[in-house]
Amino acid sequence: MKQKITKIMAEIRRKAKAKKRKRDPKRPIAIWTEKDLLEGQITDAMVAILATGGCSWAEESGCTMCGYYNDTCNQVTESDLLAQLAVLKERYRDQKYLKIFTSGSFMNAKEIPASVATEFLSFFSERCDLICIETRAEYVTAEAAEVLAAYPCEIEVALGLESSNDVVLAEIINKNLTFERYKNAASLLLDAGLAVKTYLLLKPPLMTEKEAVEDCERSIRDVLPYTNTISVNPTNVQNFTLVDYLHHRGYYRPPWFYSLEEIMKRCMPHAKERGVRLMSAPSGAGTLRGIHNCKKCDGKYKEAITAISLGMVGVEIFDRIDCECRVKWQCDMDTQNAAMDFHSTG
Ligand code: SF4
Ligand SMILES: [Zn+2]
CATH of the domain at 41: 3.20.20.70
Q: Which atom of ligand 1 is nearest to the CA of 104?
A: 7
pLDDT, average across residues 197-212: 97
Residue type, position 120, single letter: F
pLDDT, average across residues 287-299: 98
**Does the beta carbon of 68 sit less than 6 angstroms from any atom of ligand 1?**
yes
**Does the beta carbon of 160 sit less than 6 angstroms from any atom of ligand 1?**
yes
Which H/E stretch holds residue 334? helix 326-345
**Does the beta carbon of 161 sit less than 6 angstroms from any atom of ligand 1?**
no
* 103-107, 217-221, 245-249, 332-336: range with lowest mean pLDDT: 332-336
Ligand 1 centroid – CA 301 distance (Å):
27
pLDDT score at 16: 85
Q: Which ligand is nearest to the CA of 49?
A: 1
pLDDT score at 343: 57
List Cα–Cα distances, 56 to 28, 43, 73, 84, 107, in angstroms.
Answer: 19, 33, 13, 21, 11
- DSSP assignment letter at 76: -
Residue range 147-196, pLDDT digits in tens: 999 999 999 999 999 999 999 999 999 999 999 999 999 999 999 999 99
Ligand 2 centroid – CA 35 distance (Å):
26
Nearest to 230 by CA among 205, 267, 187, 192: 267
Number of domains in the chain: 1
Task: Please answer whether residues 77 and 112 qualify as being in contact, where contact means their C-beta atoms are separated by less than 8 angstroms.
Answer: no
**Does the beta carbon of 97 sit less than 6 angstroms from any atom of ligand 1?**
no
Question: Which domain covers residue 230, as residue numbers?
Answer: 2-345
Task: Please answer whether residues 204 and 254 qualify as being in contact, where contact means their C-beta atoms are separated by less than 8 angstroms.
Answer: no
Residue range 232-281, pLDDT digits in tens: 999 999 999 999 999 999 999 999 999 999 999 999 999 999 999 999 99
Nearest CA owner, ligand 1 atom 6: 66
Q: Which ligand is nearest to the CA of 300?
A: 2
Residue range 320-339, pLDDT digits in tens: 998 999 999 999 999 887 66
